[in-house]
A = this chain, B = another copy of it.
Amino acid sequence: METQQELNALSNGIMTSGSLFNHWQGHRRVTRRLIEIFPEEQLFEFSIGGMRSFADMVKEISGLSGIGMRGLVTGDWTSTPELDYRSGKSVVSTKAELLCLWDEITVEIDSLWPQIPYQRFHEVIQAFVEYEGYTLDIILYWIDNEVHHRAQGYVYLRALGIEPPAFWNRD
């Protein structure tokens, strides 16, 4: 990602670890509101153009965030039955369970994030054992992926005639 010259200039960094944490948790608050406002049946079944349900997208976001944060800090990238989004065999099957899992991950990010030493952001890791990249880029990808799929949830809600929460409100 950075050239050596840029790494030398990191004393002129424009973003701290704390800023990125706040940025991500702000996005997570918006995504949570989308899950909440979705009617339960449509959350798990509604689709446009053969795409996944919004619940399946949320399971992916939860898997990346939940397994990812633990992996970043502990080096252990194994999944749990709740977070196993890749097998399509997630045990989460209701909106309440999805929200409960969401809130558990939020608390886990709160507690794990400060354990990432700032140098780690510039180290190359093997995320989920198979994706090689700088830690910062990996985390930015998780956030982008969340914004991307959440925006698809916005379209689903509009198609269902439901006014979605404001995109800009991260409180």
Contacts and interface: CB of A to CB of B under 8 A. Distances in A.
A107 interface: no
A155 interface: yes
B14 A17 contact: yes
Contact of A19 (B136, B145, B151, B158): B136
Interface string A1-44: 11100100111111111111011000100000000000000000
A15 B27 CA distance: 19
A85 interface: no
Chain A: number of interface residues, binned into ranges: 35 or more
Which of A140, A157, A160 counts the most chain B CB atoms within 10 A?
A: A140
User: What is the copy number of this chain in the assembly?
Assistant: 2
Contacts of A151: 147-152
A22 B1 contact: yes
A19 B48 contact: no
A50 interface: yes
Interface of A: 1-3, 6, 9-20, 22-23, 27, 48-51, 118, 121-122, 136, 140-141, 144-145, 147-152, 154-161, 167-168
Contacts of A154: 148, 152
Contacts of A2: 16, 18-19
